[in-house]
Structure formats: structure tokens, C-alpha cells
Amino acid sequence: MAYFDAASAAPLHPIARQALLASFDEGWADPARLYREGRRARVLLDAAREAAAEAVGCRPDELAFTSSGTRAVHTGIAGALAGRRRIGRHLIVSAVEHSSVLHSAELLEAAGGSVTQVAVDRTGLVDPAAYGAALREDTALACLQSANHEVGTAQPVAAVAEVCRKAGVPLLVDAAQSLGWGPVDGGWSLLTASAHKWGGPSGVGLLVVRKGARFAAQGPVDERESGRAPGFENIPAIVAAAASLRAVRAEAAEEAARLRELTDRIRARVPRLVSDVEVVGHPVRRLPGVVTFSCLYVDGEALLHELDREGFSVSSGSSCTSSTLTPSHVLRAMGVLSEGNVRVSLPSGTAEEDVERFLAVLPRAVTAVREKLGAPVASEVVREEDVLVVDSLGKRCPIPVIELAKVIGDVPVGGLVRVLSDDEAARLDIPAWCEMRGQEYVGEEPADQGTCYLIRRAS
């Protein structure tokens, strides 16, 4: 098997495994105690904190270890908002943040606060000026990920941090995807990360609060981790996390160049090997090992199963792989095709021959899925004067798009096709199909059931 889902969880680094096993013998005692076993545990914890702080570029006393990256985000946002509650209860986030940030934003809104989502362009990039425009007198905090977890786009953190600094607003950076590759530049105030993203053990997060940033930890007071992460520290896992972070940083420059070449190869060759593919994410400002693309007329879940049978573990942002049956919020915010979405995220050490084998396997996997969907239940097609109506109610994407593609040639140039669909993914996929196929997307209108999408044949 070739594991190509490092953006979800990177394989445990050999250094992490060694440090974890070694620390079980020395790091089991309470580091707050003064007897010998406690002092040994404290030495390990302090050394790990210093190593992690050096990698982040902060002071050791600014860094706390949490039980996960998600917990670090929730604690960081809640504490920063509480620390600036006299300023106001307005939060700024980008539209493509990790769900942990967006869930914190929802909680703030439910409690009476307000949230502004900053839009991104088609590559997933935010405009620093848009953050400036979103700032208000009552803005307590702004959040921005350093790099996107689904498409790999790297954000202009330093520029956004400077905009926020001039306004006196702290910026929290979710660095989960990028910290293993290098420190986050700019004058940010808070930072979060997760060890299992860089090859450390799961269950260890980092929360950094710069000196001078107002912060009021929420929940019951606990004396551990500066009161920011209650509960007994998992010292073996923390030691392994810090050791692996130092190890991957030592390898980062060389490995980043190698993985970037491999992902550039995938980005360039997939559109030549597979028809009707959209490669998404910024072509230059992106993580070294992440490449994402979407395939027309493909069910994402079926494609993942085909690739799994061929020996490849990848992930997807397609709606058909989600229990909610809605497209990825990241792809939706970017306005790109969501159906048949595949995210390839290469872990360190990925072999070139595995990438070549993936490129050899992908075309037949896509073809197999398309063949299975090539004969869907016939659409109910009727003509209303010079308009063709396609009834795709009750059918999940990509079926509505497939049925649109089959009938677009049946109307004259300038004629309209009306597609009825009750699948939320159609709102994203039909306009994306029009852009890829050179047809005109007119818009949508309400229908008795679902939504009616209007497409004008342009060529």
C-alpha cells in the first residue's frame, strides 16, 4: 500500500517511536513533584518544551502542550476572546479555515457574538486587504491558517498579521499543516499545531500565546501548562512530539524540494492522463506534498474505493464521501469543482516509483468509475418551447452533471437547459462544469422541489 494521506495524519516518524519508547521508563511520574521520579519527568517535559519552542520561534514559557490540535484551537480562540471581551465580541476567520476554527466561530455566534468570514479566490488564497476591510472597533481576534488542509494553498500570514497589528488586533494562526516544514513568519499573537501532522504521536497539540497578548483561560482553573491545558501531561507523547518536530525540521529543506517535484509531476500529468479534470489550489504558494484535483462525472467515494483496491490511500472533499452529503466547505468557498475530488498528500520518504504507479493506475480507476455511472437511470427530459428541462431530482452528483452533459448538444447555440436537482453539490459542480466546458451558467431559481439551474449553450 502507498499511503498518500499525510495531511490527515503523517506516519509516525522513527525518531518519535524511539523517543516514545525511551520516555516510558523516565516520564511516567508527576512532573510537579519534587522527588527523584518527578524531577526526571520534569526534565523531560522542560526539554521538550524548549525544543518545541525553538522550532516555533517563541519563548518556552509561551508554549503549552494540549491534548490535540483541535483542543489548542478551541482553547486559544476562547481564551483570546475572553481576554479582549472589553474590546468586543467580533471574530474574523477565513472561509477555508479548519472545522475546529469554524466550530469555535459558531459557538461565539450562538452566544451573541459576531463573525466575519473573509472570502478566498479560486486558488484558495485570501487577500490581506480583505482582512483589513473586515476589521471593526469591536474586533477581538482574527484567525488565519498558515496553509490549507485540503488544497495545500499557503496563506500570506505575515501580511495579514501586519494588517491586524496596525489595528491592534491579535492574529491566531492555525499552523497544523505547515509547522513541520518551518516556522510561521510574521507578527502573529497566537499559534496552534498538532503533532500527528508532522509525524509525532496523536494526542499532542501546541498552543502558543505571545507575551503581551491578552488571554484569559476558560473553564475550571488548573495549575498545569500555565492553566491553559488541564490534566496530567502525557510526557512520553510530548517528548516524542518535540523530538520528531526537531527531526523533520532537520530534513525539511531537502525533503520539501523532493516532494514538491513529485507533486508538480502529478499536477502537470493528471490533466493529460485523465480528461475533464480540474487541478485546484494555488500553483506556487502551496505545501510541498499536497496536490488536489477533481474529476467530472466521477463519484468521489467510488473513486477512493477504486484507488484503495489498487493500493493507494487518498482522501477526498467530495460531497459523496461526507455523511452530510454537502461539498467540502473549502471547495465551496473556492468555487471549484467538487465532484470526483482527490487529495494526494505525500508523506516524507515517498518513493518516486509509488508516484509513477499512482499516475499509471489513476486513468483506469477514473474510467472504471465513469463506466459505472455512464448509464444512469434515464433522465426525464421534456421541452418547454426552446428550453430543455432535465429532471435530476433525487440523484446525487455527479449524475445531474452527467445528464446535463448528455443533453447540452440537443439545444441550439443560445438555447437553455434547465436542470432540476436537490443535491447541494450541484450548486457548485454545475457552474464549474460550465466554466470547464465553455458554456454559460445563467444562474439558479427556486423550484417546487430542489433548485433549478439554468445553463445556456455557448458553443
Cell numbers that stand for 352 in this block: 518516486
Q: What is the 3-state secondary structure (H, E, C) of 337-358?
A: CCCCEEEEECCCCCCHHHHHHH
Query: Which residues touch 381 (CB under 8 Å, ≥6 apart)?
Result: 388, 389, 390, 391, 407
How far from chain centre, in Å, is Cα 428? 18
Q: Is 438 exposed, middle or buried (0-12, 13-18, 19+ CB in 10 A)?
A: exposed
- Going by their DSSP bridges, the two strands 114-118 and 63-66 should be labelled as unpaired
Q: Which three cell numbers stand for residue 107?
A: 459557538
Set 58, 143, 164, 320: catalytic member: 320
Strands (E), 89-231: 90-94, 114-118, 139-145, 171-174, 190-194, 205-209
Rounded to whole angstroms, the Cα distance separating 360 from 323 reads 30
Residue 68 cell numbers, joined: 490535540
Closest CA to 52 of 317, 243, 337, 275: 243
How far apart CA 156 and CA 160 sit, in angstroms, is: 6
> How many whole angstroms separate alpha carbon 103 and alpha carbon 98?
9
Q: How far apart are alpha carbons 319 and 339 in whole angstroms?
A: 7
Cell numbers given for 266: 502529478
Torsion of CA 423, 427, 429, 430, to 10 degrees: 110
- CA distances to 184, 185, 373, 399 from 155, in Å: 10, 11, 37, 34
Return the number of other C-beta atoms located less than 10 Å from residue 261's C-beta: 12
Cell digits for 248? 523533520
Q: Per DSSP, which regions of 18-164 are E strands?
A: 63-66, 90-94, 114-118, 139-145
320 belongs to the catalytic site: yes
The residue among 255, 425, 436, 265 whose CA lies nearest residue 344 is 265
- State the DSSP H helix or E strand holding residue 290, giving kind and residue range, or none if neither: strand 290-295
Residues belonging to the active site: 320
